[in-house]
A and B are shown apart, each in its own frame.
Chain A
Amino acid sequence: MSQYAHPEVLVSADWVEQHLQDPKVRLVEVDVDTNSYKEGHIPGAIAWAWNQQLCDTVQRDILSQTGFEKLMSSSGISPETTVVLYGDSNNWFAAWAFWQAKIYGHKDIRILNGGRKKWLADGRELAVEIPAYPSVAYRAQAPNLALRAFLPQVQGAVQKKSAALVDVRSPQEFSGEILAPPGLPETCQRGGHIPGARNIPWSKACNDDGTFKSADELRALYGAEAIDGKQPVIAYCRIGERSSHTWFVLRYLLGFEQVTNYDGSWTEWGNLVGAQVERGAAPAKPAQS
């Protein structure tokens, strides 16, 4: 069995338990359901709310460099701190935080394999006390935009077929049958997908217990859709958080060098006047090279 390309970005629940008192480690819970933290969380963990603290709340954007610095500083995180992220929905928004931290160059950031789900299922200790850590100075690096795709890059990739597009939404969202995940508000004018995209739902990268599949299984999953690291990859979903999970898998578990997250995603493309849209189920798998 082959190893992940960067196994150092994943930690196990046992590792976390052994580092609960480690002052060099900061645990951060990032949930889809931002109420979960209050029920109980890993002792010593703080919480970041994806919809308030991990985005610009005025214009649609990720955190600015200044905003990221403030978040890290107020969380008691220095550039030398080992940050361990975890969350519900198999680390869906934990990956979103990881992606932004890498854009701003945080050196040692990791994800708890299995996230909140596995921690609960294992029956491990939880706390309700909300810890406070003294602020520390934090200077972020200039944003590494090689990790992020903007609309013109995606349009160019579609036109020139210069990158593989991976739509990580559900098959029903991909086909256009529904305009948002079932039960969530519709946030686009048109359903379907970006022309030429392959559909590999994000959750296929996870086991039932929330942990990531093995490197061999992941390589087979993406390889079956000709996503093998030989050409640049652009991942997208509805608002960019599910695709940050896939970005993490491709970039750090499989080690593909040229992977970007298009966080504008379907809520940008599906609302553009005149943008080409394909509808219908995913075509047959491409021939293997």
Chain B
Amino acid sequence: MKPQHYRERQVTSGPWQIHLVSYQLGDLFYCKADNVSPGANIARGSAATQEEAERIVLNKAEERLARTRRQTV
């Protein structure tokens, strides 16, 4: 089995950047989201299409990022 349709893209959600990586393995498309800086994984998911996998993961990532508190420095 070889990964196909490997794709990376970056989106902005409020003050945060989200890096999405998606690819197909067998019949499923997998997607992971990280927070760009520092690059920690914050969401994952899979679906029958690449767009759906990305949508699911983007929603999860945005929910998690929305809980991040920013301090005044």
Residue pair B41, A182 in contact (C-beta under 8 Å): no
Q: Are A182 and B25 in contact (CB under 8 A)?
A: no
How many chain A residues sit at the interface, stated as a range, is: 35 or more
| Contact in complex: A32, B40 (CB < 8 Å) | yes
A90 to B73 Cα, complex, angstroms? 30
Q: In whole angstroms, what is the CA distance A181 to B19 when docked?
A: 14
Indicate if B4 sits at the interface (CB-CB under 8 A).
yes
CB proximity to B under 8 Å, residues A232-289: 237, 242, 279-281
A5-42, CB under 8 A of B: which get 1 and which 0?
00000000000000000000000000011011001100
The 9 closest A-B pairs by CB, nearest first: A183-B42, A183-B64, A170-B37, A181-B40, A182-B35, A170-B38, A33-B41, A182-B68, A120-B3
B side interface size, CB within 8 A: 31
A216 within 8 Å of B (CB atoms) = no
| Distance (whole angstroms) from the CB of B63 to the closest CB of chain A | 9
Q: Number of contacts between A and B (CB, 8 Å)? A: 98
Check if A126 sits within 8 Å of B73, measured CB to CB: no
Q: For residue A32, which residue of chain B has the nearest CB?
A: B41
Encode A152-179 as 1/0 by CB contact (under 8 A) with B: 0000000000000000011111011111
Q: Once the chains bind, are A123 and B38 in contact (CB under 8 Å)?
A: no
Chain B residues near A136: list those with CB within 8 A.
none
B 14-49 contacts with A by CB, 8 A: 16, 21, 23, 25, 30, 32, 34-35, 37-44, 46
